[in-house]
Amino acid sequence: MFDKSRNISGEIPEHIDFIRNIAIPIFEEWGYKIKILHADCDYMDLFFHTVTRSKTEENNGKHSGWLIGGRCAGNDRLKMKPIRQYRKSIEGEYIEYVGIAADEPKRLERLTDNKRSLLYEYHCTEEMAYELCKNYGLLSPIYSFTRRNGCWFCPNQSYNELAHLKFLHPELWEELKVLSCVPDLVSRGFRYGVPFDEVEERIDKIISSQGKYSRSEIKKLASQGRIKINDNIVKKVNEKINSKEELYNPKINVKIGIKYLSELLERYDGKLEIALAAYNAGIGNVTEWIQKGIIKKDGTDIENIPFKETNNYVRKILRDYEIYREIYEV
């Protein structure tokens, strides 16, 4: 987490949305039990940690400040420590599976008798793993603009990735900008010793040189969820989009909505009632309702949809659908 008190995740929004609404529901459909681990601190705790044991006397009493690039302290405290704690809670023997591909020799050295990689054992390279995820609908939209997955505040990001963050998620960039103004920091270099204002100046040049927005950037350009789509859907719409204003062009907006709805219909075996519920409330909620027996897969009991907004939405769309069918004699 970036900030537990305000529930700001450390994952970039596109990825956390993918995890919650696509990946977890798919794994649960396959019968896997999902457990989410949480660290006992967050990024803000690490940033504002008061240094007391520095060999450099003038640093004592100051805040730690920006995480240093390379082997980031955030990776150990926010990611690896919860995993280590979970391992200790397991009774008896266990096997830990990690995603290390067959063509990652340095990382393969980390494998042990109880830490295995099925990718390695089945001779699966990074490229093959990428295609497998893509084929099963498990490829996060972040891979449309980066080859790595990490925290949005990570100092190891490239300048292009930081430009993506500021351009699409200005509210998160502002979080970092506020921190850049905090006095009495030991680590004042935001990225490998480079001050925040210099980093921002460089990425502003990258943003201004891009000129047009790519399809992978559309989700956040849709201005705070005014259209409910994800990057995977948008990329399949054969429409050139040059600015966020074009998203409110009915021709483009309707095409995107139709494409998304068609994929939901395919996912739910043509059951329009269930597809509409997922369109409004999200795949994750609908999967949970079906699993708990709140609604049926065939969509015959939509009156049991627990979200009032979604319940009304589905009823209204079905009603209007029948009216238009009658008007146009479909």
Given this model, what pLDDT does residue 208 score?
64
Domain segments of the chain as ranges: 4-211, 220-328
pTM of the shown model: 0.58
Instruction: Name the residue with tokens 């340095």.
Output: 106
Q: What is the CATH number of domain 220-328?
A: 1.10.530.10
Largest pairwise CA distance in the chain: 83
Tens-place pLDDT, residues 34-74: 999 989 998 888 888 888 988 888 889 888 888 876 667 78
For residue 215, what pLDDT is reported? 40
Q: Is 80 exceeded by the pLDDT of residue 241?
A: no
- Look at the alpha carbons of 7, 9, 10, 13 in this order and tell me if their dihedral is positive or negative: negative
* Nearest Cα residue to 3 out of 73, 70, 74, 59: 74
CB atoms within 10 A of CB 154: 21
Q: Look at 18-22, 124-128, 191-195 and tell me which has the smallest mean pLDDT.
A: 191-195
3-state helix, strand, coil in the chain (%, to 5): 55, 5, 40
pLDDT tens per residue, range 164-205: 888 778 888 888 888 887 778 888 788 878 888 888 888 877
* pLDDT above 50 (res 214): no
> Beta-carbon neighbour count of residue 74 at 10 Å?
24
Q: Which residue has the higher pLDDT, 257 or 59?
A: 59
The predicted structure's pLDDT at residue 27: 93
- What CATH code is assigned to 4-211? 3.40.50
> What are the E-state strand segments in the chain?
63-65, 96-97, 115-116, 185-187, 189-191, 194-195
10 Å CB burial of residue 257 (0-12, 13-18, 19+) is middle
